Amino acid sequence: MNISSSVATTPSSTQIEVMKKAMETQEQQVLKVLEGANEQSQKVAAQKTGLGNNLNIAG
């Protein structure tokens, strides 16, 4: 009968740094996407109200 034991290894400081860097990069990418979406919604709102790049003088 074979009994195998697995030893849980803790991540090394290098692995932790790599994971932190990856999370920071992901956060930055998410923020960029959100900023882009915010800009787009502002442009759409401005066009709807006629206060954007295209002034809606005719109404």
The Cα 11–Cα 24 span in angstroms is: 18
The residue type found at 21 is K
| Residue 46 neighbours by CB distance under 10 Å | 13
The reported pLDDT for the residue numbered 35 is 94
pTM over 0.85: no
User: What three-state secondary structure class fits 13?
Assistant: helix
pLDDT of residue 55: 57
* Predicted local distance difference test score (pLDDT) of residue 21: 96
Q: Over 14-59, what HEC string results?
A: HHHHHHHHHHHHHHHHHHHHHHHHHHHHHHHHHHHHCECCCECCCC
pLDDT of residue 8: 66
Predicted local confidence at residue 43, as pLDDT: 85
Tens of pLDDT, residues 2-57? 676 666 677 899 999 999 999 999 999 999 999 999 999 888 887 777 665 555 56
